Amino acid sequence: MFKKPGMLAAFGVGYVLGARAGRERYDAMVAKAQDVWHDPRVQEKAHRARIVAEEKADTARHTVRDKMPGDSTPSSASSPTSQTTPSAPRPHTTTDPVTNMPRGWES
């Protein structure tokens, strides 16, 4: 019977000390991550990555639009035309109340 309370006490002491050390280490990692994120070189790379991702997404969007069944016009045409074959339904677009960003299919 004496082993159980001693073991529980040791566990409690270890938990408290580990939690403090863990919290200090976590705070140090968060501070380092924020320092790295706010570095101008990282911000420049993130900006470039976003531009490249937007360009690739635009290219993919045009490729998919060009290959849609029933769509006989290329994506570069600026005026919409009537389609004889029904295509996929358009998503209902709403705005996310938290981010104020438009929602697509997920809403």
Residue 36 lies in a domain: yes
Residue 44 lies in a domain: yes
Residue 17 lies in a domain: yes
Residue 104 lies in a domain: no
What total number of domains does the chain contain?
1
The answer to whether 91 and 105 are in contact (CB under 8 A) is yes
Alpha-carbon distance 29 to 57, whole Å? 33
Residue 56 lies in a domain: yes
At 8, is the pLDDT very low, low, confident or very high (cuts 50, 70, 90)?
confident
Residue indicated by tokens 């849609």: 68
Q: What's the confidence (pLDDT) of residue 27? A: 84
Residue indicated by tokens 């937007």: 54
Residue 98 lies in a domain: no
Average pLDDT on 23-28 reads: 82
Residue-by-residue DSSP string for the chain: --HHHHHHHHHHHHHHHHHHHHHHHHHHHHHHHHHHHTSHHHHHHHHHHHHHHHHHHHHHHHHHHHHSTT--S-TT--S----SS--PPPPPP-B-TTT-PBP-TT-
Domain that holds residue 61: 8-67
Residue 31 lies in a domain: yes
pLDDT tens digit string along 52-101? Answer: 999 999 999 999 988 888 755 555 454 455 455 555 555 555 766 666 76
Q: What's the confidence (pLDDT) of residue 38? A: 92
- Which tokens is 7 given? 């073991």
Average pLDDT on 10-17 reads: 82
The pLDDT mean for the chain works out to: 76
User: Residue 31: pLDDT above 70?
Assistant: yes
pTM strictly above 0.85? no
Residue 80 lies in a domain: no
